[in-house]
Structure 1
Amino acid sequence: MTIATPPRPWMDAELEMLRDSARRFFETECVPRQKAWAAQKHMDRSMWNRAGELGLLCAGIPEAYGGAGGSFLHEAVICEEQMRALVTSFSINVHSGIVAHYLLDYGTEEQKLRWLPAMATGDVVAAIAMTEPGAGTDLQRIKTTAVRQGDHYVINGAKTFITNGLHADLICVAVKTDPNAGARGVSLVIIETCDLPGFRRGTLLDKIGQQAQDTVELFFDDMRVPAENLLGTEEGRGFAQLMQQLPRERLLLAVGSAATMQRAVDDTLAYVRERQIFGASLMSLQNTRFKLAECQTHATIARTFVDDCIARLARDELDVPTAAMAKWWISQTTCQVIDECLQLHGGYGYMSDYPIARMYTDARVGRIYGGANEVMKEIIARAMDR
């Protein structure tokens, strides 16, 4: 007998159908290819189109722009199933949950019609480029510049750790349009990478985890981009645009972490029931039972917190500090739970063929990207100190 998990308060029949479709795709079409994709450090480009065929891209974008016409709930279901399957080889979150919504919320009508339908089919892959070699979470420090020259911006600089970077056809780039204006000098410019002079991708980065995901550096050398590709109608709005989207983006990270945490517990429970030690199952030992009880408690709390945040987002009430709490605590706790679960696997937990070993390395970046957890705590503390 296992613990009965309460029904998700936001689930309905349509979302259950989407969950089934997403689960089949990730488990049958992606999981068997993960090892090959890890060896080449990227997945096959054709899988983006396959995800588009199944309606897994831009699920929360209106049908008028080629999307599925759903909401954040649809994106959350897809995210949960992708992370439950441990498919970290491409980021639907970045493509659909971040870039698509930047275009939807801030783009002109022409920009939306031009790019969103192709993103929904997977014909165009999207990435976002904020982090630089000398600037991570503190975006006011970015040095990539965009200088207006007639009908174009001339962009110079470099970005690093760019998810979906190898396949990206469309990249939302954070630039300084006014280097002396601090946060008010940041703008977002959309670049189309195909045959773009001055645009260059670096080699695929060698990571300790998520090895099948294409992550690269990007270089811009006098790269000319049409001024009409500015996101929004005026310069200097980029920092505000980024801040407005952060609660949603960080909740997606929390959703994925919580799903991975539960997968770790489920896998470990199955393992300790079968593993024999001293003439009995490993599950019969009190230490094992107590450790798993603790892990399941953490996973249940994480899931409950995520569900509450989703409900707040649906009511347009999810604030920045609460999203920061969800992001840091769930990503941190996921790492702790996975560590405990790996220990219960013994030596096999250290073998890369076992999913728990991949979870151990894949989950670690969750405490870094989307804003380092230390920054999340600072955000929370500032809100407390007002």
Structure 2
Amino acid sequence: MALDAETFNSLLDTIERFVAERLRPAEAQVDAEDKVPDAIVEEMKELGLFGLTIPEEFGGLGLNCSEEARVAVALGHTSPAFRSIFGTNVGIGAQGIVMDGTEEQKQKYLPGMASGDIIGSFCLTEPDSGSDAGALKTRADRDGNGYVLNGTKRYITNALRADVLTVMARTDQGEPGARGVSAFIVDAHTDGIRMGKPEKKMGQRGTYVSDVIFEDVKVPADALIGGKEGQGFKTAMKVLDRGRLHISGVCVGVAKRLIADSLAYAAERKQFGKPIADFQLIQAMLADSETECAAAEALLHDAARRKDAGEPMTKLAAMCKYYASEMVGRVADRAVQVHGGAGYVADYGIERFYRDVRLFRIYEGTSQIQQIIIAREMLRELRG
């Protein structure tokens, strides 16, 4: 359900000011210390950022896709590490419960997730299955009235902070591919769960990813999302469709930030007696970035409106994520070039964004997977 225009605009204004006045000044500190300050996390909770997309009846703000897209763009004007703190609660960590959970599951978990008292994480990727999500090997074997989970999940965002894990596991060992996969809500502190060490990453310092190891982890039958076996892959794909729109919005926001910084630098930096912004080859880079960013934003908002109208989402979400993530990579590269040596050193923060945005082309489905999805859906539409 959409908020009324006045309420939403007030929320968006508050978030934009929070980004500009609180988060941007802390960017270098977060990158240096590899940690978002606890005080900022508490402020995020107070602003309701953990519950942006959780329905109002469970304590969230209940933003629709169009509203979420605009908020994601605003959040993109600062380091992605900040958004990652609450991003799993907004998206992949909570949406499986929102979309397919039972009423009891929603009542149990969503209020705490909306407040930020419960951090959710999404466990799909494994050492031998990333893009091929249907090949996952984590098992959920029947044990009396419950299940026993065994397996390893890899590159799991916010696992080290998590209280609740949405876990994709194979309940039907005789059914290959996606149809044998089910989704579970698992207390992250259950006996038999071990967290791997935090990975050292190229960028997005202040965010944490790690392995999650399940060794004879016993979960009750009511941990099965929706109470149905074999629906896990469908749940995961629906969650990722919406998540890809959110990531697209963040990409647009980061691109806008980089373009603004590049334009300001080019207008001030002088060579040969005049600002480098007066040189046509600098202008060409700025123009390319501005045009591509505008195209990505138009695609994003069109897809979000269509999602809210109930149109099929898979192809549109893939198109958005593919184009926006590739776009912001090109914009970041040009930003380094416009800044020259200043873009390569840490003083201006451009090199940090250059490192940070590289991940957007990989997680929640690589660019190559998005291309496959887009082409598959095109052929499906052709063949009826």
Please indicate, yes or no, whether the TM-score normalized by the shorter chain is above 0.5.
yes
- The C-alpha deviation readout for 1:257-296, integer Å capped at 9, x for no partner, is 1111111111100000010111111111111112211111
**Structure 1 position 17 matched with structure 2 position 15:** no
Which residue pairs with 1:193 in the alignment?
188
The Cα shift of 1:39 comes to 4.1
Q: 1:349 to 1:301 in 2, by over 3 A?
A: same
Which residue pairs with 2:221 in the alignment?
227
Supply the distance in 2 between the matched residues of 1:147 and 1:39 (Cα, whole angstroms).
44
- The C-alpha deviation readout for 1:69-99, integer Å capped at 9, x for no partner, is 4322343233222211224242433211233
Which residue pairs with 2:165 in the alignment?
171
More moved, 134-143 vs 66-75: 66-75
SS in 2 for 1:20: helix
Match runs of 1:203-242 below 5 Å: 203-242=197-236
Which residue pairs with 1:75 in the alignment?
68
Q: Contact conserved, 1:155 with 1:222, CA < 8 A, in 2? A: yes
The Cα shift of 1:302 comes to 1.1
Q: 1:384 to 1:75 in 2, by over 3 A?
A: closer
The Cα shift of 1:173 comes to 0.8
Which residue pairs with 2:295 in the alignment?
301
Which residue pairs with 1:245 in the alignment?
239
**Structure 1 position 122 matched with structure 2 position 116:** yes
More moved, 14-23 vs 105-114: 14-23
- Name the count of aligned residue pairs: 376
More moved, 103-112 vs 14-23: 14-23
- The C-alpha deviation readout for 1:282-328, integer Å capped at 9, x for no partner, is 11111111221111111111111111111111111143112111111
Supply the distance in 2 between the matched residues of 1:186 and 1:161 (Cα, whole angstroms).
19
Within the candidate set 349, 362, 370, 2:364 is matched to 370
Q: 1:364 to 1:264 in 2, by over 3 A?
A: same
AA at the equivalent of 1:186: V
Within the candidate set 363, 378, 382, 2:376 is matched to 382
Supply the distance in 2 between the matched residues of 1:147 and 1:176 (Cα, whole angstroms).
8
More moved, 271-280 vs 101-110: 101-110
Q: Contact conserved, 1:246 with 1:320, CA < 8 A, in 2? A: no
RMSD over aligned CA atoms reads 1.9
AA at the equivalent of 1:289: Q
Supply the distance in 1 between the matched residues of 2:345 and 2:159 (Cα, whole angstroms).
29
Q: Contact conserved, 2:79 with 2:204, CA < 8 A, in 1? A: no
Q: Which runs of 5+ in 2 are unaligned?
A: none
Supply the distance in 2 between the matched residues of 1:39 and 1:162 (Cα, whole angstroms).
22
Q: 1:40 to 1:144 in 2, by over 3 A?
A: farther
AA at the equivalent of 2:9: E
Identity of aligned residues (%): 35
Supply the distance in 2 between the matched residues of 1:239 and 1:264 (Cα, whole angstroms).
36
AA at the equivalent of 2:231: R
Which residue pairs with 1:5 in the alignment?
none
Supply the distance in 1 between the matched residues of 2:315 and 2:4 (Cα, whole angstroms).
25
The Cα shift of 1:28 comes to 3.4
- The C-alpha deviation readout for 1:1-21, integer Å capped at 9, x for no partner, is xxxxxxxxx994332211221
Q: Contact conserved, 2:28 with 2:349, CA < 8 A, in 1? A: no
Supply the distance in 2 between the matched residues of 1:255 and 1:363 (Cα, whole angstroms).
13
**Structure 1 position 260 matched with structure 2 position 279:** no
Supply the distance in 1 between the matched residues of 2:355 and 2:237 (Cα, whole angstroms).
29
Which residue pairs with 1:289 in the alignment?
283
Q: Contact conserved, 2:136 with 2:169, CA < 8 A, in 1? A: yes
TM-score (norm 2): 0.92
Q: Contact conserved, 1:79 with 1:92, CA < 8 A, in 2? A: no
AA at the equivalent of 1:53: E
Q: Which runs of 5+ in 1 are unaligned?
A: 1-9
AA at the equivalent of 1:234: K
Within the candidate set 140, 149, 166, 1:146 is matched to 140
AA at the equivalent of 1:336: R
AA at the equivalent of 1:184: R
Within the candidate set 259, 262, 276, 2:270 is matched to 276
TM-score (norm 1): 0.92
Q: Contact conserved, 1:128 with 1:172, CA < 8 A, in 2? A: yes
Q: 1:215 to 1:41 in 2, by over 3 A?
A: farther
SS in 2 for 1:203: coil
AA at the equivalent of 1:52: K
**Structure 1 position 30 matched with structure 2 position 32:** no
AA at the equivalent of 2:188: T
Within the candidate set 178, 182, 203, 1:183 is matched to 178
